[in-house]
Amino acid sequence: MARGAKVLIPCSFALVACYPWGRAGISEIDVGVDVRVDAIIFVPERNGGLFAAVSGGAVVDHDGQRWDLSDHALRASSTDDLGRYWVCGDHGYLAFTDIDPAQAVEPTWFPVTTGDERDLYAIVADTDHVVVVGDEVLLVGTETDGAWEWSEPPVPSEGWGRLRGVSQLGSDDAKVFLAVGHNGRALLSPEGADTWTPVDGLDPDIDFNHLCGNLALGDDLVRAWWTADGWSIASGDGDADFVGCGGGFVLSSDRWISEFGDKGLERLYRLPWQPRAIDQRFGLLVGGDSGHVAWWSPGHVGEY
């Protein structure tokens, strides 16, 4: 059999069609679309499956089922501590689904109205808050008796900026929220998500388009780590840009999956297609151009 030939094999997603790529240790999953995957998230409650937000405002799963949610682009996803899966996108679109593994029912997506129609680029959800950010917008949602209330915290004097990433740091007793964006914009909310303060230290000539935990990723492979002492910055070392991150692993525009080690940015695997989104909670889930979705358990290094 030729190397890379598509063969139906068992893999870590129950009842999923997976295709082995030779010695690479990576299996491609057919989600039934041929458009770009912009966000992806592992869903253990659904037989260890996934949700992927794709071009055209739709969400698909590992069985190829499709939910057409919006007429506008979906750009980011998150999951909260209560098992809800969230997506957000352009024109202020926001929706979630509850997954109950004890009931054999298909998920239902519930649109959420915030009263704001500005484009949303990133979302983080936990038990108490949902925070979404975008172009000159930052909204905080809280749930009371099943009803969602949305508010915009006091706007900093220089505005919110063109925010592209948001994350929640710390423990339940000391939650800290961090946001980053274009022109070196960074904001910190040290107590919950009610008050946000600009944070200096990032180069205003660098656009930061991704934030995973305390790791901010900028143009030309520039990266910055936030700690209580401020930003630690590493200059770029390549002719590419970051396009996604998750759990210490990063994706770049030259198709590499990399991670940060003792020697800096270590290239692990180069995909035969352009990756766009990653989730790292059970191996690696990677989505990209032309509907490609793959699962990989890092243990092989090389180039396809």
Instruction: Dump pLDDT digits (tens) for 220-270.
Output: 999 999 998 999 998 876 689 999 998 889 999 999 999 887 777 888 889
pLDDT number for residue 15 = 30
pTM of the complete model:
0.86
pLDDT band at 16 (very low <50, low <70, confident <90, very high): very low
Distance from C-alpha of 268 to C-alpha of 250, rounded to nearest angstrom: 10
Distances (CA, A) of 150 to 71, 135, 270: 22, 17, 41
284, pLDDT greater than 90: no
Distance from C-alpha of 11 to C-alpha of 195, rounded to nearest angstrom: 45
Tokens at 134, concatenated: 């975008």
pLDDT mean across residues, the chain = 84
Domains, the chain, with CATH or none: 18-303 (2.130.10.10)
- pLDDT tens readout for residues 35-60: 999 999 988 877 668 899 999 999 99
SS3 for 91?
helix
288, pLDDT greater than 70: yes
- The residue to which tokens 């000539």 are assigned: 205
